[in-house]
Structures are given as C-alpha cells and as structure tokens.
Copies of this chain bind each other. A is one copy, B any other.
C-alpha cells in the first residue's frame, strides 16, 4: 500500500488566525489566539450531552483547514508489520462505536488554584469540560488491520507506545504539531473504548473539535485526545513532545520553577474525582435574615472509568450534609451501553428547593466508586502548572 507523504493530504495547519471558525458569542474567552474558551456553568449543566457550540475549546495554535475531505488519509506507521494509509471513507466502513465520554481539560478550575499562589497557564473557570457522544472506529480495531492484535503489550517489531500526531502549528512545539501517546496495551484494549472519532453528537466533527478525525481517549485528561489527527506512530518510547514531557505532569506543592525536574514525573493520564455545583441564587451576596429557597445543580466525574458513588452538599460550611439526586443518564442513539461498561461520562446532579438562611457557606464534594474523595483545599494539591484542581467546590 502506498503511503502518502505528509503534505499530500490537503489537511493543513495554518500559521495565522485568519481562518478561524465562527464560535458561540456566549463563550467566556480565556485566550483569543490560540482560541481557548468555556461556556457559562449554567449553559454547561443544562443538558447531559453538551451541544458542540457550548463544548469548551482548547487549542495550541490556529484551527486546521481541510477543504476536500476525500483527499484526507490517516497514516498508521512505525513498529507495525503492515503500515497503512486509510481514507475517511474506509474508516467509516469499519464497525462504528458511539461512546458517550466527558473530556476535561487538566487545567479545569486553574483560576481557583491561582488565587492561593500564582500558577502558569491559561486561566480556566469550572467549565473546561464537556460530554459528547463520540462516533467512530475503535483504535484497537484499526491497529489489528496493521497487524497488532487486541491486548498487546509489545508489537513483533518492539513497539510499546502509540503516538498521535496532529497537523496544527504549536508555538510550544516550535511550529511543529501537537502530539501525545498512550501505552500500547491501552490502545489495543477494546474495552478502553479509544476512538478515532469522525462524529460528535451524531454530526461530523466540526473544525474546532478536530475535523475530520480526532482521537478520544475516555477516562484520561483531555490533552491526550489529539484533534486533526494526521499520523499514528507505534514507537518503542513514550511520545517526547512538549505536552507529554514538559507540561501536564503533577508536581508536589514544594516544587516551583526554580527546582523543577520534568523527567522525575510521568505524563498525566487518569484524573481524580471532580465535582462542581452552581446555584440558582447568588447565596453569598444574599441579605441576612432572608430565607431563600435555592436550586443546586452540578456535575461530578472521575477518571479511569470509575463512576461517582455520591455527591454531598452542605449549606452550613460542612457541619451537615445532604445527598444530591442523580439526574438520569442519557443514552445517545446507537451508543454502546451495559451496566458492566466503565463510566466514561459525568453524572449531573441536583438538589431542589433547599431552604437556606444567609449568610451560608455552600460546599459540594463527590466520592468516586473507589471511595476516593476530593481534597478540602487547593493548598494540599497546589502545583506550579495548576493542573487537576479538584478541591471541594465552594
């Protein structure tokens, strides 16, 4: 099979911001170029499936352009017996899987972490996440076409990692593309549900979310779900790109920019139990001695397919707790579902008509299926890159 050169595909990553797509004007813009934005907490928790235009946008360069989808080919190469070049049409003919999964930026709630001690990175509120029904071929199936069977730890040629390479132009990569990798066993496990997705919520991916093809790695920080996928390379080593090696790692609070050793830590993958609420009335600013009736709603999620066991809410600063009510989980048409499947998507929860006597101190916190809990404060988990702030939401 002939493998086209990278520049033969007409998918291109522009160097300037002149060809950006239109976006929903209600988004809160955290950085304009590259475009990084999130919806309001109200818009976010309104529906179980996040509409594409309200789904957070996370970019490291201008949005790639593909004028003629028929020219696109995904190249699968590296330490595999049968390197491949696959058209979109071919990928669409493989068994289609629809997986509802939440993607969360590792920087979600970074701004809250910065209030204690300044961290580096784009500021994000608590809405740098979204839940979509992703449709596409399973990575594990595509790898079998290249001669790599399901549940493989090492290929016959010595490959142990699967690297995803985009076609965008990133400053952090000195003009090169965004990239990331996952271990081969993860990539070749069908139950891990890693998709090469061409659909989001039943429609073709839009440009902001990776048109024509993206990776979706459920249960892992959003940074590994590479958009505008151009090449998959099976390698002996973990991806050496900036976002795997010099970013998105977890450091203890004692490490700052003067004493950092990037090599001492692994790239982040799985993420901890997270939870955020919002309320129908600004309870903090409410006048004293007025009784309010408030509706609370929020999201909770955990990485690694772990589900949410429960969500606790307190309106008295943690003296007493109420258990939130789980809203029904929606199943997208055609979705794979079964009680034994991992929990790749969030839980939306609610507590209605709660009487409060201002001033009150509201806290919401979740427990995951492994009984992991959230830390009380950001002090315990502060880290110089401001990643994975999952402290109690107040």
Contact assessment for B304 and A370 in the assembled complex, using a CB-CB cutoff below 8 Å: yes
CB neighbours (8 Å) of A373 from chain B are 272, 375, 380-381
Contact assessment for B151 and A309 in the assembled complex, using a CB-CB cutoff below 8 Å: no
Residue of B nearest to A307 (CB): B266
Contact assessment for A160 and B340 in the assembled complex, using a CB-CB cutoff below 8 Å: yes
Contact assessment for A369 and B266 in the assembled complex, using a CB-CB cutoff below 8 Å: yes
Contact assessment for A371 and B252 in the assembled complex, using a CB-CB cutoff below 8 Å: no
Q: Is A388 an interface residue (CB 8 A)?
A: yes
Residue of B nearest to A304 (CB): B370
Binds B, one of A58-66, A96-104, A185-193, A282-290: A185-193
Contact assessment for A323 and B371 in the assembled complex, using a CB-CB cutoff below 8 Å: no
Q: Is A130 an interface residue (CB 8 A)?
A: no
Docked complex Cα distance between A191 and B370 (Å): 19
Residue of B nearest to A185 (CB): B340
A381-394 contact mask (Cβ, 8 Å, vs B): 1 or 0? 10000001010000
Docked complex Cα distance between A26 and B286 (Å): 61
A181-199 contact mask (Cβ, 8 Å, vs B): 1 or 0? 0011110011100000000
CB distance from A17 to the nearest CB of B (A): 33
Copies of this subunit: 2
> In this complex, which of A303, A306, A370 has the most chain B Cβ atoms within 10 angstroms of its Cβ?
A370
CB neighbours (8 Å) of A381 from chain B are 371, 373
Q: Is A312 an interface residue (CB 8 A)?
A: yes
CB neighbours (8 Å) of A270 from chain B are 306, 369-371
Q: Is A207 an interface residue (CB 8 A)?
A: no
CB neighbours (8 Å) of A370 from chain B are 269-272, 302-304, 372
Docked complex Cα distance between A309 and B253 (Å): 14
**Can you list 17 residue pairs at the A/B interface with Cβ under 8 Å?**
A153-B338, A160-B340, A185-B191, A185-B340, A252-B310, A252-B323, A265-B309, A266-B309, A270-B369, A272-B370, A273-B372, A303-B370, A304-B304, A370-B372, A371-B390, A373-B380, A375-B376
